[in-house]
Amino acid sequence: MTRQYFGTDGIRGRVGEPPMTVDFALRLASAAASVLAPSGGSVLIGKDTRVSGYMFESALEAGFVASGLDVGLLGPLPTPGIAYLTQALNADFGVVISASHNAYDDNGIKFFDRHGLKLSDELEARIEAALDGVPRTRDSSSLGKAEIATRARSMYQEFCRASFPADQDLAGIKVVIDCAHGAAYKVAPRVLAELEADLVPVGCSPNGRNINAGCGSTRPDLLQMTVPGVRADLGIALDGDGDRLVMVDNKGNVIDGDQLLYILAIDRRSTGELRGPVVGTVMSNLGLERALLGAGIGFQRAKVGDRHVLSMLQASGGILGGETSGHLLCLDRTTTGDGLIAALQVLAVMRRTGRGLDELAAGMERLPQVLVNVRLDQPLVLDEAGGVREAVLDVERTLGDRGRVVLRPSGTEPVIRVMVEGESDGEIRHFAAQIADAVREAAASGPAQLIS
C-alpha cells in the first residue's frame, strides 16, 4: 500500500495549498477515526503556536466529534507531550498539529497510537485509502463531545520533572532556554524553574507568526550570542514542536545531536544503565561512530527519521538513539523524541559529574561535514542517474575510509540532500559541490520519478 500524503513525519505542507486545507483536515479526521477508533472512543488534539493551528484544530475537532469520538483539546504543547498524554489518559490515539522546525506559513498533522508511538506505514496507508470516502456524521445520539483537557500541561510537566534525578536540582546553574516561540514556551521554562535553575528565557513569546524565526534549534545563533553575553553555564534550544534539541556551552559553541548522544551514551555506560547499541542515522557524524566504538559501545545506523531510529532500537534492544539535528530518543525515560527530557538528561550528567558541556563533549572529535541541498524543478531517480553515480564513486574512492558520502531525497520537500564528510573541510566542500553539480545536470536532462 502506497502513501500519497504521509511523509517521513506525518502530513506537511504550505497552509492553504493541498493537502493543508480545512476540507482535507475534516476528511482526514473522519478517515483516521474509521481506522484508529472504528467503534468510537477518544482522541487528543495538541498543536504548536502557529496561527493556522486554530483553523486545523477546529476542522479536526468537527470531524472527530461527527465520527462519534470524544475530543480532548490540549492546546499548545510539545509533540512528545501529546505522545505521553495519549498513553497516560488512555486515549485511542493522539493528533499533533505542527510543521516542526518549518516557518509559520507551513503546518502539518501527525498521529500517535494509543501507546504514544508513531503510526506504522501500514496504518498511514489505510488512513489514506479511507480519504476517498465521504466524511461521516453520526446521528445526534452517537456524536462525540469536545472539552479542554485542563490538567494536561501540568501532567506533562510532572512527567518531564520526574525524568530528572529526584535527589538533584539545578540550583546555581544559569541556563538560557530558547523555545523557538513554539509549543514548549510554557512547559520548558516552568520545569527548569521548578528545578531551581537560574533561568534566562528567549524565544518564549509566540505571536502565531514568529515560530522558528531566527531562533530555536535550527537557528542557534541567538543562543550562541546570549549564553556568553549573560555569562550563563549553558543554553538549551528546542524547535517549534519541542522534539529537537541542540545545546550551547558557556563559550557559545553549539553541541549538536551527535555530541549530546555521545555524552548520554558514555554516562549511561558509566552508571551501568546502557543497554544495546546506540543508534544513529546515515547522516550521523563519523566522529560519533569512531568515539563510541573506541569506548566499546556498539553503534548502528538507521535511515533518516526518528521513526526509523526507534524501529532499530526496538529491534536491537537499545535505549539511546538520535539524529544530528537533535531528535534524541531516551527510551529508558519516554517513548519518543523529547527535546526537554533529553536536555534534562544532559543537565543531570553535568550536575552529577561537575563537568561543563565542553568538557563532556571533548571525547568526541567531530569530523567536518558538508550538507548541500539541491532543489529540483522536476523529480529525479538517483539509481538511474549515471553521472551522479560516477561522481559519488569517484569521491568515495578518493576518501576511502577517511570519510563518507550520503545522497538522499528529502521526505518533506523537492530536494536531494548531498552530504560529504571527511578529515579536510576544504576537500569535502569541493567534493560536495562536485556531486551537487552532477545532481543538477542529471535533473536538467529530463523528467523521471523521484525515489524515496
Q: Which positions are annotated as active-site residues?
A: 100
How far is CA 96 from its chain centroid?
A: 13
| Beta strand segments in 289-436, E | 299-302, 320-322, 328-330, 369-375, 404-409, 415-421
Cell of 167: 535527589
Measure the CA angle with vertex 19, ends 411 and 101; round to 5°. 50
* DSSP SS3 for 287: helix
Query: What are the CA-CA distances from residue 72 to residues 95, 150, 166, 231, 387 (Å)?
Result: 10, 9, 31, 42, 53
| Beta strand segments in 170-231, E | 174-178, 198-202
Question: Dihedral of CA 240/241/242/244: which sign?
Answer: negative
CB-CB contact of 99 with 182 (8 Å): no
CB-CB contact of 213 with 247 (8 Å): no
Give which of 211, 21, 26, 28 is closest to 111, Cα–Cα: 28
> What is d(CA 320, CA 212) in angstroms, rounded to the nearest whole number?
27
Cell of 379: 523529480
Which of the 8 DSSP states describes residue 120?
A: P
Phi-psi region of 379 (alpha: psi -120 to 50; beta: other; left: phi over 0): beta
